[in-house]
C-alpha cells in the first residue's frame, strides 16, 4: 500500500500530464493508487517494440528515448522523453503491441498506469476521453511533421530546427548522452553528416559549438535555414 506522501507525490505528477489535467481530486487519487513505480538504470530497456502493452508510462525523473530499429540495425529516434512526459498511449487504446522501443538514457524513475484501469477510466470520465482524442491527434501531427522533415528537408535544415527547439534563449545545453551519434539517430542520418552540418552552421556564423553546449549566434539566420520563416 502506498503512503500518504507517495500518493501526494504521484497526484502532483499526474496533474502535470495533459491526460489527467481535467480530472477531479477523487479521480486523480484513484489513478495514483493504480500506479506502479519502476526504476531503470542507464541503457536499460523500459519497453520493447512488439511486446504486449502493459499501460501508460509517465516519466518521474531522468531522460528516455523512443526509437524504431530498422532491419539494418539503424535507429530512428521518434521522441526524447523528459520528466512529466507520458508515452505508449496508442497501444493502450488500439489493441496493438508496443509501437516503439524505449530505453533509459540515464538512471530514471517511471510510473505505469495499468491498461485495464485506463480503459475503465475512458468510459467513466468523459473529460479523460476527450483529452485522449486530442493527444492522439497531436501524435498524428507529430508523425506527419517527422515524415515531412525526413523527406523534404535537408539534414542542415533539420539540424537547425532541432537546435532552435532545444534552445533556452540562445543556448543549447548538451546532456552527457547527447552525442553526435544520438543526434544523427534523431535526425535520420549518420554522425559524419551531422558533424559536417554542425561545421557548416558554425562556419556561417550561426552557432558556436562547445563541449557541453551550443551557442546560437544568429537566431534569425538559423530560422531561415530551418525553414521556420519565409
Q: Which residue has the higher pLDDT, 75 or 47?
A: 47
Residue 179 confidence (pLDDT) = 79
For residues 109 and 159, state if they share a domain: no
For residues 21 and 110, state if they share a domain: yes
For residues 95 and 8, state if they share a domain: yes
Q: What is d(CA 87, CA 23) in angstroms, rounded to the nearest whole number?
A: 19
Domain end marker among 118, 140, 162: 140
Residue appearing with cell numbers 550561426: 206
Number of domains in the chain: 2
For residues 23 and 64, state if they share a domain: yes
Q: What is d(CA 98, CA 52) in angstroms, rounded to the nearest whole number?
A: 6
In a domain, 98, yes or no: yes
Q: Is the pLDDT of residue 182 over 90?
A: no
Q: How does residue 211 score in pLDDT terms, banded at 50, 70 and 90?
A: confident
Distances in Å between the Cα of 183 and the Cα atoms of 139, 161, 222 are 21, 12, 17
Report residue 45 CA to chain centroid gap: 15
For residues 176 and 75, state if they share a domain: no
In a domain, 69, yes or no: yes
Domain end marker among 107, 140, 173: 140
pLDDT in tens, 117-165: 999 988 888 888 888 888 788 878 877 877 777 777 888 998 998 899 8
Residue 103 sits in a domain of what CATH number?
Answer: 2.60.120.10
In a domain, 50, yes or no: yes
Domain end marker among 88, 105, 140: 140
For residues 104 and 217, state if they share a domain: no
In a domain, 230, yes or no: no
For residues 76 and 119, state if they share a domain: yes
What's the whole-number average pLDDT of the chain? 87
List the domain range (segments joined by +) for residue 168: 151-225
Q: Is the pLDDT of residue 174 over 60?
A: yes
Which letter does DSSP use for residue 52 in this model?
Answer: P
Amino acid at each position: 500500500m502506498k503512503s500518504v506522501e507517495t500518493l501526494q507525490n504521484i497526484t502532483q505528477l499526474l496533474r502535470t500530464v495533459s491526460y489527467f489535467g481535467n480530472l477531479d481530486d477523487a479521480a486523480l487519487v484513484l489513478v495514483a493508487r493504480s500506479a506502479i513505480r519502476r526504476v531503470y538504470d542507464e541503457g536499460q530497456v523500459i519497453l520493447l517494440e512488439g511486446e504486449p502493452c502493459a499501460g501508460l508510462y509517465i516519466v518521474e525523473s531522468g531522460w528516455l528515448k523512443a526509437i524504431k530499429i530498422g532491419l539494418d540495425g539503424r535507429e530512428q529516434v521518434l521522441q526524447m522523453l523528459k520528466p512529466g512526459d507520458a508515452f505508449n498511449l496508442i497501444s493502450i487504446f488500439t489493441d496493438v503491441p508496443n509501437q516503439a522501443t524505449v530505453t533509459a538514457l540515464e538512471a530514471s524513475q517511471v510510473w505505469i498506469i495499468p491498461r485495464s484501469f485506463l480503459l475503465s477510466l475512458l468510459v467513466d470520465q468523459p473529460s479523460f476521453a476527450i483529452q485522449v482524442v486530442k493527444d492522439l491527434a497531436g501524435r498524428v501531427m507529430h508523425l506527419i511533421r517527422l515524415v515531412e522533415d525526413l523527406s523534404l528537408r535537408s539534414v542542415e535544415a533539420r539540424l537547425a530546427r532541432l537546435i532552435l527547439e532545444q534552445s533556452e534563449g540562445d543556448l543549447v545545453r548538451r546532456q552527457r548522452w547527447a552525442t553526435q551519434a544520438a543526434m544523427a539517430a534523431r535526425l535520420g542520418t549518420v554522425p559524419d553528416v551531422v558533424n559536417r552540418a554542425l561545421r557548416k552552421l558554425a562556419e556561417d556564423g550561426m552557432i558556436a559549438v562547445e563541449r557541453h553546449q551550443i551557442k546560437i549566434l544568429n537566431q534569425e539566420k538559423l530560422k531561415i535555414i530551418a525553414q521556420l520563416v519565409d
